[in-house]
Structure 1
Amino acid sequence: MKKIFILLAIGMASCLFSCQKGFLDQVPDDRLTIDDVFQRRATTLRYLANVYSYIRSDVDWNSANSPWEGLSDEIDITYNDYPTYSMNLGNWDRNLGDYNYWNHYYRGIRAASYFIDNVGKNPELQPEEMERLKAEARFLRAMYYFMIMRQYGPVVLLPETPLAPDATIEEMSLPRSPFDVCVDYVAAEMDKSLPALPVNGSTTDESNYGRINRGMVLAFKSRMLLYAASALYNGNTDYAGFKNPDGTQLISQVYNAGKWKRASDAAKAVIDLNNYSLYRETDNAGNLKPYESLKNVFLRDWNSEIIMARVVGTMYAIDQNGAPKRVGGWSSWGPTQQAVDAYFTANGRSITDPASNYSETGYSTSGNSYYDAGTYNMYVNREPRFYVAITFNGSKWINTSFGTNGQPITIQMFRNGNSGKDGGRNWSRTGYVVRKMVNPSSTQNPSVTQQRTEVLFRLAEVYLNYAEALNEAEPGNADIVKYLNLIRERAGIPQYGPGAGQIPVPATQDAMREAIRKERRVELAFEYHRYFDTRRWKIAEQTDGGPFYGMDIEATTTEAFSKRVVFETRVFHKKYYLWNIQQSELNKDKNLVGNPGW
């Protein structure tokens, strides 16, 4: 890959140091003092690269890397020795260290603050460059605060100037700020970074791809304000007793409709940059190819829809876990039946709609490019996003090199099928495998992973953020249907409207809210949004607990396989809405209160 931001490239080298003993700990070996670091342009950039390195990956859902998909109602991680398995069953220790990122992001915040405080000492930097580097660090610090907020709720806002190493216990014992105060601070810091940043990344200088720009800042501000306007944080009386030791209320008890207006304005600000467009591929006649567009938006680096991406060394986790056993994959990321059912049919309707033409009886009499003849009718006549995202029994694999004479192989998910449970550890407990984001050119045996960026933010999310916030702030605003339809048009399904072949526009605010949530669930599936969406909407008690369904993986024929069975009964306690803060962190700060229920 050529399109690699130079600071991130340096940051990888810096990370190698930090993984051993930390960048600043290199002083004895390098004979550099911290003042020396900020006297040279190269070492200053290296330090900023270390600040960037705290951006975590969200695409590896295994082991202790990222829990958001494995703990959502979208995915089952096959292996019962991974933490998400026991956590979904309610076995969640309040001092559990798995996936606790509180300290990780605070290290990034302190590194960013130190950079902001010291970069002005560098005599080799021109004023304009210095201001840009400071703005990048300022945004990263704000983003890291938001990353803590989305997981833990209200945070401790640290002083602008980092505390001295010899600070007293009293100086270090800072209370959590109310969530709304945290939101205002982070939003203000993001706004403060904007003037020194370019509107978007350079389209000619590949070394700047991935570097912080205004579009990235505004997009993350949009996401944060959407979360802040949602039910978990906006007048949530369940948290009436959630207070600091001095009695300060940490979650607002009064609903504020103005938060939705603020969120809609923030999303519209990204749209109004006019720097991004939904990624589209067309045939020679100019006709949209929905499947290719939806698949390749994740595979074509820095395409028109990408607002922010993370340069990574490999996407091995996606390709290996998302490939079925027949082609050497692990089949270990299994979509739940609930996630499968969320996809629309080809006519753009939910499967519960009598007009959807959905059927759970019988089998197809013919095949096509997505599935073979004899496929269960549950998977027939579904929308393009379904075929992009789900490997199901009877589906054709996306890499034709595994077939004969260039023909794709058909995946069998029943017990003794080519990707079923029999033999080894790698099989899906739901009878499905996630194929969204898997590169068709990657192979598992031999292991060849096609390198690409990890998409952190794309325009489709902004459109959905805008539609959701606008529906709450200004029900009936024409932009709601407009941007919802832009998503549906690119997806290759009928739009909402009065025309022939269209679907009637949802008539009420509640009906539109449901339509937006359904669209969001499908469009952003398996992109780690669902975990946070169900929590901010306060519906996780309904979506994340109780019986979870898949197909009958113990069956030895397609016919017996094709029925819903419970593969797991999950437990969701109300305290899971906010993550536990470990006791070791609470012990460091006498004014730090834990989250409710823990």
Structure 2
Amino acid sequence: MNRKKHKILTFVFLIFLGLSSCQKGFLDQVPDDRLTIEQVFKRLQPSEEYLANVYSYIKDESYITNNAPWIGLSDEGDVTYDRPGYLTFLMNLGNWNPASGYYDNYYTDYYKGIRSATTYINNIGGNPQLDANKIVIRKAEARFVRAYLYFMLLRTWGPVTILSEDLIPGDLNPGDPLLTLPRNSYDECVDYIVNELDMASQDLPLHFTTQENLDYGRATKMACLALKSRVLLYAASPLFNGNTEYSGFRNLDGKNLISQQYDAQKWEKAAKAAKDIINMDILSLYKKNSGGTFSPLISYRDVFLDAWNGEWVFARILNNLSGYERALTPRLANGFCSTGPTQQMVDAYFMANGLKPITGYNSDGSPIINAASGYTETGFSTVQGVANTSNMYANREPRFYASVNYNNAPWINTSEGVKIIQTYNTGESGPAGSWDHSRTSYFGRKNVSPGSNPKTGVYDKRPYIMMRYAEILLNYIEALNEYDKDNTDILKYLNMIRERAGIPQYGQGANALPIPANQNAMREAIRAERRVELAFEHHRYFDTRRWKIAEQTDGGPMYGMNILENPPAFYKRVVFETRVFRKSFYFFPIPQTEINKNANMVQNPFW
């Protein structure tokens, strides 16, 4: 069902709550002006604005060129720029350390948001202008946001400090025990987040369809359950589940911060969390027809564009999708074409027959081509209606055409006629004469509306989707395969993803493919599907780390086409960057300023 209701969340994200603090520790204490806080929570509008500010600490990660580094730091993509403000280039070369200050504001902002959420929870109950039922719901919303922010810390910095429910006084001296709290273990953080989400889910509306329209974008029970699924999947993964490489990762009192014992039940918990959502039978994979017939390409493209459809779980109303779209627009339409998939990511997309085009790489980086797939890197044909297009881009799966711009691809906005993208050296989006180009020769198309055109200043304003049902299905089958490998649900839901994608399924349907032969083969099939289905949604960076494969995927040569040449020399795989990935990079370093302020704060491993 398409619930295309472009409703705007009514509360405004104000800086009203600068909340002056003594700044005597990493906690950023409670505001000194308690009278002001008391006044805030006695009135309706200021208290609503306060909660809006709490929500605002959930980062807007739609602006990928600098606000969200996850694509540019993973093997799925690259951000072109190597100038101040664009940090992924330096980080990929290994040029960072705990004192660099890279994304330290994320660390401090998340804690500010956590503190603000706690302030709200502890004070909103006395508001005489909110009815009792609304107070219960509002508290649950703040609890969800607080859990979300803790998870954002956890996924980036590993185990962190869980703060007390009691607000810390604003007049403490440096070195006070309340300002020098040690880190909690990873499992303790997970237990806390899950418990908070369970508590919040009891008091929230089930789904946005059960909310008032103007409340779209607020927390729901479904959002709590979806986040719980993600948290438990991460916790079950190799980086955190019995990782003996972190045996020395301890607090000063000797407490292990990463579990040293593998626990298969963690996978079971993760699978159950996802299955609980599936069993509710509320969400569904979005499908859309074109000309009266189901269209996999339009379905996958428009799941991000048709707001509040049946696949959506949680979205951010206020966002910078216009900046995102301009970053992924060719120069012919006044775009920057500045964030591009790597050749490795392009290779990951399946062929139309459902097979992988590339099965691996030789020692010199050349691809091992799967002959059965029909893929070839020679010759030209007509692709997407454009003649003389390289056969590398022919007969690929629909998700490829919905997600990737390549040389000779038609630009999706046709308001000024059909325009052809050129990413070779002297092409309209090539490097000659401008730093606005893709170093890989590719740039993204996913989540870019055909109705947007930066050249004319027209953008398709819509919410930015942060959680959707496809992830839940992939979470479920990944976890299920690890502890109940013969469960038929694994194949059922894997095929459900592929059926919507418009490619042959494993063991059933037209042109069925052989079912993965064993648990390892199924694991690789699930990971390959997840890589493509969730591409450019900020999952890949964290997936390769939690799987403990980032040393293989994110270090070494990264490939693209030869953008310094024109065709035919352009069509050659070349290294655009040789990346450095050290074992320490599995986590961001705790900011050195926090280490200096807190004698009990230990640094992340290998930094």
TM-score by length of 1: 0.94
In the alignment, structure 1 residue 481 sits paired with structure 2 residue 481: no
Q: Does 1:578 align with 2:591?
A: no
Q: 2:363 corresponds to which residue?
A: none
SS of 1:401 mapped into structure 2: coil
Letter in 1 for 2:109: H
Q: CA deviation at 1:42?
A: 2.0
Superposed counterparts of 1:448-597, under 5 Å: 448-557=458-567, 559-597=568-606
Residue 32 of structure 1 and its aligned partner are, at CA, apart by 6.5
User: What SS does structure 2 have at the residue aligned with 1:419?
Assistant: coil
Alpha-carbon distance in 1 for matches of 2:387, 2:94: 41
Q: What is the aligned partner in structure 2 of residue 86 from structure 1?
A: 90
Q: CA deviation at 1:457?
A: 0.3
Question: Given that residues 290 and 384 in structure 1 are in contact (C-alpha distance below 8 angstroms), is that contact kept between their aligned partners in structure 2?
Answer: yes
Name 2:101's counterpart in structure 1.
97
Equivalent position to 1:343, from 333, 337, 349 = 349
| Counterpart contact for 1:264–1:470, Cα < 8 Å | yes
Distance 1:591 1:548, change over 3 A: same
1:419 partnered with 2:429: yes
Higher mean displacement: 198-207 or 161-170: 198-207
Q: Provide structure 2 residue ranges, at least 5 long, that are not aligned to the other structure.
A: 22-28, 359-369
Q: Does 2:239 match 1:232?
A: yes
Contact 2:288–2:298 (8 Å) recurs in 1: yes
| Equivalent of 1:33 in 24, 32, 36 | 36
Q: Does 1:66 align with 2:68?
A: yes
- Distance (whole Å) between structure 2 residues aligned to residue 359 and residue 311 of structure 1: 43
Aligned to 1:304, which of 297, 304, 310? 310
Q: Which residue of 2 aligns with 1:267?
A: 274
Deviation sequence 1:527-552 (CA, Å, 0-9, x none): 11000000000000000000110001
Partner of 1:441: 451
Distance 2:99 2:108 in 1: 14
Query: Is 1:198–2:209 an aligned residue pair?
Result: no
Report the equivalent of 2:410.
396
- Which residue of the partner structure matches residue 358 of structure 1? 375
Deviation (angstroms), 1:316: 1.8
Q: In angstroms, what is the RMSD of aligned CA positions?
A: 1.9
Deviation at 1:92, TM superposition (A): 1.1
Shift of the 19–438 alpha-carbon distance from structure 1 to 2, 3 Å rule, reads farther
2:158 aligned with 1:153: yes
8 Å CA contact 1:337, 1:549 repeated in 2: yes
Cα distance, 1:27–1:248 mapped onto 2, change above 3 Å: closer
Task: Kindly provide the CA deviation profile for residues 32-87 of structure 1, in whole angstroms up to 9, marking residues without a partner as x.
Answer: 62111111222221211111110101121223x11111101111111111211011
Q: Distance in 1 between matches of 2:415 and 2:291?
A: 25
Q: Distance in 1 between matches of 2:451 and 2:251?
A: 53
Distance 1:19 1:46 in 2: 12
Match of 1:220, SS? helix
From the superposition, tell whether residues 441 and 26 of structure 1 become closer, same or farther in structure 2 (CA, over 3 Å).
Answer: farther
- The ranges of structure 1 where at least 4 consecutive aligned residues each deviate by more than 6 angstroms after the TM superposition are 19-22, 24-28
Q: C-alpha displacement at 1:208, in angstroms? A: 1.3
Q: CA deviation at 1:479?
A: 0.7
Alignment of 1:36-185 (within 5 A): 36-63=39-66, 65-81=67-83, 82-100=86-104, 101-168=106-173, 169-185=176-192
Q: How far apart are 1:185 and its partner, in Å?
A: 1.0
Provide the secondary structure at the position in 2 that maps to 1:561: coil
| Structure 1 contact 112–137 (Cα < 8 Å) conserved | yes
Residues 1:439 and 1:21: Cα distance change in structure 2 (over 3 Å):
farther
Q: Which amino acid aligns with 2:579?
A: R
Q: Percent identity?
A: 50
- Secondary structure, counterpart of 1:109 in structure 2: helix
Q: Distance in 1 between matches of 2:409 and 2:268?
A: 44
In the alignment, is the contact (CA less than 8 A) between 1:69 and 1:526 conserved in 2? yes
Q: 1:454 deviation in Å?
A: 0.7
Q: Is the 8 A contact 2:319 2:464 kept in 1?
A: no
* Counterpart code for 2:94: G
Letter in 2 for 1:460: A
Alpha carbons of structure 1 residues 177 and 346: separation in structure 2 relative to 1, 3 Å: same
Structure 2-normalised TM-score?
0.92
Residue of structure 1 in register with 2:287 after alignment: 280
Relative distance call for 1:190 and 1:432 in structure 2 (3 A) is: same
Corresponding residue SS for 1:548: strand
Q: 1:355, CA displacement in angstroms?
A: 1.9
Aligned residues of 2:491 and 2:506 also touching (Cα < 8 A): yes
Matches within 5 A, 1:372-391: 372-391=386-405
Pick the aligned partner of 1:322 from 325, 328, 334: 328
Greater mean alpha carbon deviation, residues 48-57 or residues 353-362: 353-362
Which runs of no fewer than 5 residues in structure 1 stay unpaired?
none
Identify the range of structure 1 (167-176 vs 320-329) with the bigger mean alpha-carbon deviation. Answer: 167-176
Deviations 1:328-371 (A, max 9, x none): 1111011100000000000111013332111111111x34xx25
**Matches of 1:387 and 1:150, distance apart in 2:** 31
Alpha-carbon shift at residue 19 of structure 1 (Å) = 6.5
Q: Residues 386 and 410 of structure 2 are in contact (CA less than 8 Å); yes or no, is this contact kept in structure 1?
A: yes
**SS state at 2:242 partner:** coil
Q: Tell me how far 1:284 sits from its aligned partner.
A: 4.7
Aligned partners of 1:351 and 1:548: how far apart in 2? 18
